[in-house]
Structure 1
């Protein structure tokens, strides 16, 4: 039996097994048939956040933000571009702290925007404050190298 990685579909939330020996760039969900990776961050609620963090074998980069936050809005296009560079090695999620207050509280979010790099359900790196695309990618890769 060949090795595989579990990845949560950003469209329907189903868990997919992707063969490790094949590129995941063009993979499609076995349930909804949508692309698993689209080169865009996925907007998640509390439930979807928990599912991605607990069930994905690939690292997850989370942007905790709020719509009223100026730095959050200015970083959004940079985070979008970072998704194009980091997928399929990393899944990028956007978590609105206003609509997910219990997750934000549990994670100890005290300022936004906050980036969290998580793998297998545990936090491996955290950074508060806006970053440009180059810094987001470099910070993520450095965090993965340390873990």
Structure 2
């Protein structure tokens, strides 16, 4: 992944102008943000964020102002590797409207068990902390976006 990281309060990103680290609080995702150092506008995240722990996953999905698409995957999984570029494309095309996260099911087996993830890749949509939809299997970006739109519309 890149310079986008998650902590208990938000996403940490690097300013494109000065390189300073900036926190984007979960509750303010999707809103305009400026660098705390040089005041350059910082765009919405347009790439998936790797979630390193169950606690950070919980903080992210419970506190995010934006819906969260989660890609549950594993390094050894061929279909997971096939869908990864499609998930990245969804993140790129939906910055500011959707946050895309990746969870390695081997690293976070407790989370996978808690959520009943039995096959990978599994894509899940969380909205305001609630799991609103999930599906298993690789699919192109357009179908992933349709899946997310339907999930969010059903949750309204």
| The two structures share one fold, judged by TM-score above 0.5 | yes
Change in 2 beyond 3 A, CA 1:112/1:71: same
Change in 2 beyond 3 A, CA 1:30/1:8: farther
Structure 2 counterpart SS, 1:92: strand
Structure 1 counterpart SS, 2:33: coil
User: 1:29, 1:111 → 2: CA distance?
Assistant: 40
Any conservation in 2 of the 1:85–1:137 contact (CA below 8 Å)? no
1:62 pairs with 2:95? no
Match of 2:118 in 1: 110
- What is the TM-score when the length of structure 2 is the normalising length? 0.76
User: What 5-or-longer segments of structure 1 have no aligned partner?
Assistant: 1-6
The equivalences for 1:124-139 within 5 A come to: 124-139=132-147
RMSD: 2.6
1:72-112: per-residue Cα shift (whole Å, max 9, x none)? 00000000000012221111000000101111110000000
The equivalences for 1:6-25 within 5 A come to: 8-11=10-13, 15=25, 17-18=27-28, 24=31
Match of 2:19 in 1: none
User: What 5-or-longer segments of structure 2 have no aligned partner?
Assistant: 1-8, 14-21
Match of 1:42 in 2: 49
- What is the TM-score when the length of structure 1 is the normalising length? 0.81
Change in 2 beyond 3 A, CA 1:92/1:10: farther
Match of 1:144 in 2: 152
- Count of residues paired in the alignment: 136
Any conservation in 1 of the 2:45–2:99 contact (CA below 8 Å)? no
